[in-house]
Amino acid sequence: MLAQTAIQSGSFRQTSGRSLRTETPVRPHLCGSTIELLGAPMSFGRNAEIYGENEPADYLYKVVSGTVRTYKILSDGRRQIGAFYLPGDIFGLEVEDEHAFSAEAITDVRVLVIKRSAVMALAARDHDIARQLWTLTGRELHRVQDHILLLIKTAQERVAGFLLEMADRVSGGNAVELPMSRQDIADYLGLTIETVSRTLTQLENAAAISVPSSRHIVLRNRAALTRMNA
């Protein structure tokens, strides 16, 4: 049998009070700018569910602050995390009418909630919007394809790859502030917490990283990490 995931039974308080204060305009990514205008700001507390698997996908979301995880639970309790979404990322966009994964706030999270029907209406008239939707789905596809490649690698390769990915995305140079727990990382990488922890220790001993505190990791030797990323 494989990893039995302990679903954290944290506080599931949902501070869903739709705050009315104006959001600071987020840099107009390739995605967005127009789409964002449709968004209503909303907040979720740590571990709050944003939507569940198989629920109607009436909304999509853009992360303003905080981190979101999407995941599926297998019948026997194993959890697979599909992705982590950081500020600027869009999630919950579906082509079909239901969400394929569940989504939860990892930290306190602020998002823009965007009505799908509104976007679709826009897309029906504006080709550029339609193109953006397709591009977003395509980008997601690429991400998932890369994730598959991760899952056939050794533990060391997975962890090294994960750190490099996170370093690129949070762009704090070589210092990475991890918003997610070891359990989250493990469920993303298809490993156990123990293996993730041990692998980090190995990488530290190999002088590839340092771990001043468990959520704070410094890449000391990117070349080495890249090399073992295979």
Instruction: Please report, as ranges, the residues that interact with DNA according to CB under 7 A.
Output: 1-4, 8-10, 154-156, 181-183, 190-198, 200-201, 211, 213-215
Q: How far is the CB of 30 from its own copies (least distance, A)?
A: 12
Tokens of 2: 């494989």
Burial class (CB in 10 A: 0-12, 13-18, 19+), 171: exposed
Residue 13's binding partner out of DNA, its own copies, none, with CB under 5 to 8 Å set by partner kind: none
Q: How far is the CB of 58 from DNA (least distance, A)?
A: 31
Burial class (CB in 10 A: 0-12, 13-18, 19+), 218: middle
Judged by the rule CB under 8 A, the positions of this chain that interact with its own copies are 1-2, 72, 74-76, 78, 80, 82, 94-96, 100-101, 124, 127, 130-131, 133-135, 137-142, 144-145, 147-149, 151-154, 190, 230
Q: How far is the CB of 154 from DNA (least distance, A)?
A: 3
Q: How far is the CB of 127 from its own copies (least distance, A)?
A: 6
Residue 141's binding partner out of DNA, its own copies, none, with CB under 5 to 8 Å set by partner kind: its own copies
Angstrom distance (rounded) from CA 153 to CA 58: 36
Alpha helix ranges (H) inside 100-230: 116-125, 127-151, 155-170, 182-189, 193-205, 222-228
Residue 66's binding partner out of its own copies, DNA, none, with CB under 5 to 8 Å set by partner kind: none
Q: How far is the CB of 34 from DNA (least distance, A)?
A: 38
The alpha carbon of 193 is separated from its chain's Cα centroid by a whole number of angstroms, namely: 18
Q: Which residues contact 202 (CB under 8 A, 6 or more apart)?
A: 156
Residue 197's binding partner out of DNA, its own copies, none, with CB under 5 to 8 Å set by partner kind: DNA
Angle between helices 182-189 and 193-205 (to 10 degrees): 100
Residue 219 β-bridge partners: 209
Please say which residue, 43 or 157, places its beta carbon nearer to its own copies. Answer: 157
Residue 230's binding partner out of its own copies, DNA, none, with CB under 5 to 8 Å set by partner kind: its own copies
